[in-house]
Amino acid sequence: MTLTEKKCVPCEGGVPAIEGAEIENYTCQLKSKWDVVDEKMLRRTFTFQDFKSAMTFANQVAAIAEEEGHHPDLHISWGKVVIELYTHAIGGLSENDFIVAAKVDAIKQ
């Protein structure tokens, strides 16, 4: 089952974060290169022609987040959207973060 076929499961904490080599098992399933920050967060920057295009993309990301019940931190500026993904409940990475990242990568740009 690919990451884009999976659904996020509510994470209320109490589970270990994905760390070390297991992170690589997930990043290699992502279509594009997401930065892994301190083994605790995924980050990727998307660039656009203008602010309106950036906002349109951000709203597409928001729709995925709402559908999955798992939400990124978004930094939106003129021509740029920075997406940061981590699981707040465990202060680190879970499969949910990679599922949302894969679905973001599948957005037609």
Ligand X SMILES: C[C@H](O)[C@H](O)[C@H]1CNC2=NC(N)=NC(=O)C2=N1
Q: Which of 87, 95, 99, 102 binds ligand X (CB under 6 A)?
A: 87
Q: Pick from 15, 7, 23: which is nearest to 70 by CA?
A: 7
Residue owning tokens 């920057």 = 45
Binding-site residue total for ligand X (CB under 6 A)?
8
List the alpha helices (DSSP H) in the chain. 21-27, 51-68, 95-105
Closer residue to ligand X, CB minimum distance, 71 or 80: 71
Distance of CA 36 to the CA centre of its chain: 11
| Shortest spacing between CB 33 and ligand X, in angstroms | 20
70 binds ligand X (CB under 6 A): yes
Judged by CB under 6 A, the residue of 5, 10, 20, 33 near ligand X is 10
End-to-end C-alpha distance for the chain, whole angstroms: 24
Q: Check binding of 16 to ligand X (CB under 6 A).
A: no
Query: Least distance (Å) from ligand X to the CB of residue 62?
Result: 12
* Of the residues 71, 74, 79, 82, which one makes contact with ligand X according to CB under 6 A: 71
Two structure tokens written together for 21? 């080599």
Task: Sort strands 41-47 and 80-85 into parallel, antiparallel or unpaired.
Answer: antiparallel
Which residues contact ligand X (rule: CB under 6 A)? 10-11, 69-71, 87-89
